[in-house]
Amino acid sequence: MSKDGSAMIFPMLLEEAAKWARKNSLWPMPFGTSCCGIEMMSTLSSHYDLSRFGAEVVRFSPRQCDMLLVAGTITTKMAPVLRTIYDQMLEPKWVLAIGACSSSGGIFDTYSVLQGIDEIMPVDVYVPGCPPIPEGFLYAVLHLQKIIEGKIPRALSNKPTHEDAVNAMTYKNCVSRTRDQVIKAGLTITPEYVSTEKSKQEGR
Amino acid sequence: MKNSLAEQIKTRYSDGRKIETDSLGEIVIWAKSPTDMVDTANDLKNDQETRYNYLTDLTAYDNVDGVDGDGRFVLVYQLYSLENRSRVRLKLLLREGDHAKSVSIHFTGANWLEREVFDMYGIIFDNHPNLRRIMMDDRFVGHPLRKDYSLRQRQPFSNNIGLHLGTNPLPNTNEGRVNLNDFYNPNVLLNLGPSHPAMHGTLRVMCRVNGETIEDAACELGYLHRAIEKLGENKTYHQWIVYTDRLNYCSSLANNVAYCMAVEKMMGISITERTMVIRVMAMELARIIDHIVCVAINALDLGAMTVFWHFYYWREEAYTMIESMCGMRLTTSYTRIGGMSQDLPDNFVARMKRFVEEFPKTIDEISNLLTSNRIWIDRTRDVGVITKEEAIKYSLMGPVARASGVDFDLRRDRPYYNYSSLDFDVAVGSNGDVYDRYLVRMEEMRQSTRILKQCVDRIPTGPIWVDDKRVKIPNKQDVYTKMEDLIHHFKFFMDGVDVPSGDAYSSIEAPNGELGFYIVSRGGPKAWRMRVKSPSFMLFQNFEQVVKGGKIPDAVATLGSINIIAGELDR
């Protein structure tokens, strides 16, 4: 509506309008597990104020959100939880891997840490830093807005499906890859254990 | 006093037990058998002279190389006496397959610590109430902290651990499921976390609720277990400094100082006056930030948004100051063994003076908002009460214990650096509820500001690096121009610092409580065992008990007030 009351028509494709609306009203689902989660809090709070870019309505319900912020180390114990949350989110959805740990495992190349969340879900924007400064975080959100607009093509090269994710997380995959190493290390993984574990996986 | 106590222990407990002193001069008693270990601990606790009534830490290390004698593992208790302010360490050699005996009858706080030892080393504790894995998944095979478990041996699983209540029986259900639509069902299982708005970070609590009353609760942790202790054995002492940042990421400066202090003590290095004051200031600044986060988030959880926004302004100011000191906001890595990474920036004193002048005003404003606020009092008073006896029994420390009336502050009781020359009070509460914890934290922020005020006026001039070839990192300019320094620089970063063999426990009063590092060295640049004694671990153990009988919203208030940091909890 213009000031005199007459209606104005914007010649715009519905798709474009939807993109514009989406990009300016991102609803984040924060998944802050560690240090990066604290920086995420700083970004959301008064000083840096993420709400300037329309992404401040933090909701912990994945079904209402379209931007998953994975901030912090994801351990192998946490990976199934994260994937469940990703699966619960409705399309269209975008994922930000914030910090070195969620992008690649970071400095924690250990027995309990997932080496990057892209093993179990597609990632749109990786934010480097340990933890990234809030400005980096804001830059990532702005970058994501450009992706939503279509100005930057969305990376689709690595898009693990649910099955891929389960394979990446399961014992089955792990056993086939590293069983020899386990036995070499003299640990107590018996063939019986492996076969029962395998049959459990196939039964499921 | 201290010497006579040592003599007493030596005469009383020497029959058949080996008694020695470690590299810091603390007494180490080698127990004869698992039963003897538990009995000695109990004797030391109940003896009117010694009164070692506080179990600081319980851990183990792998003795696969046989240096400490004939046995695969060494089990270690750290005991502390609140009255005598002294420590004693009990050790026990265990062969592969030997069972240890649980000490949780005498020290309730040992429960989770023993579970952790079981998880990491596979040592079985007889008479333990609930011996199962704590950090790793139940389906995990092997024990990761054993020397023969490789650092990178991952064992992922495709699904999360289901609902359980520890060893407490699950309620009878129809076909294994609770009908959530049945409003009057007195046995509804409720899962909070690991991703839940009310649970911070990665904590998970599973409760059995009757209406809104929690009748049974069990915590599941390990969702942020990043193997920091294992990394301590695989990285050099210098490399591991960065991992201390990520323990309690709200107060990484304090962790840096605590760790470097432990290594310096083992090497017999005493740092310069200037570094000492800078480190004290760093620790107090960290305390302020940590308490800001705790109070602000606690208030935010209970609906008081203003506190969060208002406090975070000062947190950002503190972060800007920290950034100017060491170049990072959160993961600081400010200290080095024997010195600091950088000297203070030029404008630091002026900035800090502004901070200590202005920040107390904000504390007063926040106090005006909360301390006499009817809603705040209703939500926090007599909620999540921890009695004094319970606090000692569960080995709680820091602001939580002080709020319960345990007058225990390592800065005063076992002063390190120049705390003995500083003027500050220790805030002690009486009720041990959420409200008291809030008051204690507010007062500690005031006291920290007071310490900062005293420090900022008397920062001594002089070098920040100790003059010791073993640890001093050569000046970058000299590295580029002088051959000797170049070699030294190369050797330092490629080989690392050589720490003499022995073991030592060193701790500081971190914002959350006693943060200790127990280092076992076999010589060389890497630690044989790097144990982090984290305050959050003990606090969360008690949380399981505190929430029972309360309402679900009370659990949220309690959790916010005890300030669990997952990075430190799971390590």
Interface confidence, given as ipTM, is 0.84
Residue A153 Cα, gap to closest chain B Cα (Å): 31
Residue B188 Cα, gap to closest chain A Cα (Å): 21
Candidates B226, B248, B255, B324, partner chain A, best to mutate (most A CBs within 10 A): B226
pLDDT of residue B179: 56
Same domain, A123 and A31: yes
Q: How many folded domains does chain A comprise?
A: 2
Using the 8-state DSSP alphabet, how is residue A129 labeled?
Answer: S
Residue where the block lists tokens 């029986």: B169
Contact in structure between B158 and A80 (CB atoms under 8 Å) = yes
Contact in structure between B410 and B507 (CB atoms under 8 Å) = yes
pLDDT of residue A185: 46
Contact flag B157-A80 (C-beta cutoff 8 Å): yes
Q: What is the CATH number of domain B228-570?
A: 1.10.645.10
Any B CB within 8 A of A57 CB: no
DSSP string spanning B316-358?
Answer: HHHHHHHHHHHS-SS----EETTEESSPPPTTHHHHHHHHHHH
Contact flag A42-B319 (C-beta cutoff 8 Å): yes
In a domain, A2, yes or no: no
Distance from the Cα of residue B7 to its chain's centroid? 31
Contact in structure between B254 and B283 (CB atoms under 8 Å) = yes
Spell out the CATH class of B2-126: alpha beta
Three-state SS at A101: helix
Amino acid at B362: T
Same domain, A49 and A87: yes
Residue A138 Cα, gap to closest chain B Cα (Å): 16
- Nearest residue, CB atoms, B330 vs list A109, A131, A173: A131
In a domain, A165, yes or no: no
Distance from the Cα of residue A173 to its chain's centroid? 22
| Distances in whole angstroms, Cα of residue B559 to Cα of each of A42, A130, B76, B542, B562 | 21, 27, 30, 11, 6
Three-state SS at B254: helix
- Nearest residue, CB atoms, B148 vs list A31, A168, A186: A186
- Nearest residue, CB atoms, B155 vs list A84, A171, A185: A171
Mean pLDDT calculated for residue range A146-152? 84
- Nearest residue, CB atoms, B309 vs list A45, A82, A112: A45
Same domain, A183 and A124: no
Contact flag A81-B316 (C-beta cutoff 8 Å): no
Contact in structure between B77 and B39 (CB atoms under 8 Å) = no
Q: Residue A131: is the preceding peptide bond cis (ω within 30°)?
A: yes
DSSP string spanning B476-497?
Answer: HHHHHH-HHHHHHHHHHHHH--
Same domain, A68 and A126: yes
Residues 6+ apart with CB under 8 A from B332: B245, B252, B253, B256, B322, B325, B326
Q: Give me the residues paired with residue B305 across strands.
A: none
Same domain, A57 and A118: yes
Q: Residue B197: is the preceding peptide bond cis (ω within 30°)?
A: no
Contact flag A171-B222 (C-beta cutoff 8 Å): no
| Distances in whole angstroms, Cα of residue B181 to Cα of each of A186, B177, B186, B193 | 50, 11, 12, 21
- CB neighbours of residue B441 within 10 Å: 25
Same domain, A63 and A142: yes
- CB neighbours of residue A38 within 10 Å: 23
| Chain B residues lying within 8 Å of A77, measured CB to CB | 136-137, 157, 160-161, 222-223, 225
Query: A4: exposed, middle or buried (C-beta count within 10 Å: 0-12, 13-18, 19+)?
Result: exposed
| Distances in whole angstroms, Cα of residue B54 to Cα of each of B41, B78, B230, B249, B484 | 10, 9, 27, 27, 50
Q: Is the pLDDT of residue A170 over 70?
A: no
DSSP string spanning B114-168?
Answer: HHHHHHHH--EEET-TT-S-SSS-TT--S-TTSTTS-TT-----SS------TTS
Worst-scoring range by mean pLDDT, A66-70, A101-105, A126-130, A149-153? A149-153
Contact flag B157-A33 (C-beta cutoff 8 Å): no
Contact in structure between B134 and B115 (CB atoms under 8 Å) = yes
CATH code at position A43: 3.40.50.12280
Among B3, B220, B74, CA closest to B520: B74
Contact in structure between B296 and B307 (CB atoms under 8 Å) = yes
Q: Is the pLDDT of residue A180 over 70?
A: no
Residue B43 Cα, gap to closest chain A Cα (Å): 38
In a domain, A128, yes or no: yes
Residues 6+ apart with CB under 8 A from B28: B19, B20, B21, B22, B88, B89, B90, B91
Contact in structure between A6 and B220 (CB atoms under 8 Å) = no
Structure tokens at B215: 């009748």
Same domain, A135 and A199: no
Candidates A49, A112, A174, A189, partner chain B, best to mutate (most B CBs within 10 A): A112
Nearest residue on chain A to B565, judged by CA atoms?
Answer: A34
Which stretch of DSSP H or E encloses residue A135? helix A134-149
In a domain, A23, yes or no: yes
Any B CB within 8 A of A33 CB: yes
What are the tens digits of pLDDT across the range B159-170? Answer: 777 777 776 666
CA distance A71 to A100: 9
Q: Where are the alpha helices (DSSP H) in B510-565?
A: 535-546, 552-562
Q: Give me the residues paired with residue B510 across strands.
A: B513
The A residues from 129 to 188 touching B (CB cutoff 8 Å) are 130-131, 133, 166, 168-171, 173-174, 178, 181-182, 185-188
Three-class DSSP labels, A11-72: CCCHHHHHHHHHHHCCCEEEEECCHHHHHHHHHHCCCCCHHHHCCCCCCCCHHHCCEEEEEC
Contact in structure between B505 and B530 (CB atoms under 8 Å) = no
| Chain A residues lying within 8 Å of B199, measured CB to CB | none
Contact in structure between A70 and A96 (CB atoms under 8 Å) = yes
Residue B485 Cα, gap to closest chain A Cα (Å): 29
Contact flag A112-B245 (C-beta cutoff 8 Å): no
Structure tokens at B469: 């070839």
User: Domain residues for A191?
Assistant: 170-203
Same domain, A21 and A104: yes
Nearest residue on chain A to B297, judged by CA atoms?
Answer: A41
Among B543, B555, B558, B535, CA closest to B220: B543
| Chain A residues lying within 8 Å of B156, measured CB to CB | 76, 79, 114, 168-171, 173-174
Report chain B (571 residues): mean pLDDT per 10 consecutive residues. Answer: 70 78 83 86 82 88 84 89 86 87 87 90 86 84 84 79 71 54 68 76 82 84 88 88 88 90 89 90 91 88 84 86 87 88 88 90 89 88 88 89 89 87 88 90 91 88 86 86 89 86 89 90 87 89 86 87 86 83
pLDDT of residue A1: 56
Same domain, A134 and A97: yes
Same domain, A89 and A190: no
What are the tens digits of pLDDT across the range B84-140? Answer: 888 888 898 888 888 888 888 888 888 899 999 998 888 888 888 888 888 888 878
Q: Number of CB pairs < 8 Å for A and B?
A: 163
Contact flag B231-A108 (C-beta cutoff 8 Å): yes
Contact flag B157-A77 (C-beta cutoff 8 Å): yes
Same domain, A135 and A191: no
Contact flag B195-A81 (C-beta cutoff 8 Å): yes
Nearest residue on chain B to A101, judged by CA atoms?
Answer: B226
Contact flag B222-A37 (C-beta cutoff 8 Å): no
Contact flag B148-A77 (C-beta cutoff 8 Å): no
Reported residue count of chain B is 571
- Nearest residue, CB atoms, B153 vs list A72, A114, A182: A182
Amino acid at B379: R
According to DSSP, the β-strands at B529-533 and B27-30 are unpaired
Strand locations in B63-103 (E): 73-80, 87-94, 99-101
Nearest residue on chain A to B566, judged by CA atoms?
Answer: A34
Same domain, A134 and A186: no
Q: Is the pLDDT of residue A176 over 60?
A: no
Helix axes B434-457, B348-370, angle to 10 degrees: 160
% of chain A residues with pLDDT over 70: 71
Three-state SS at B76: strand
| Chain A residues lying within 8 Å of B227, measured CB to CB | 108, 110-113
CA distance B27 to B80: 11
Contact flag A60-B196 (C-beta cutoff 8 Å): yes
Contact flag A189-B142 (C-beta cutoff 8 Å): yes
Q: Is the pLDDT of residue A164 over 50?
A: yes
Domain boundaries, chain B: 2-126, 228-570
In a domain, A42, yes or no: yes
CA distance B348 to B362: 21
Amino acid at A129: G
Residues 6+ apart with CB under 8 A from A126: A97, A103
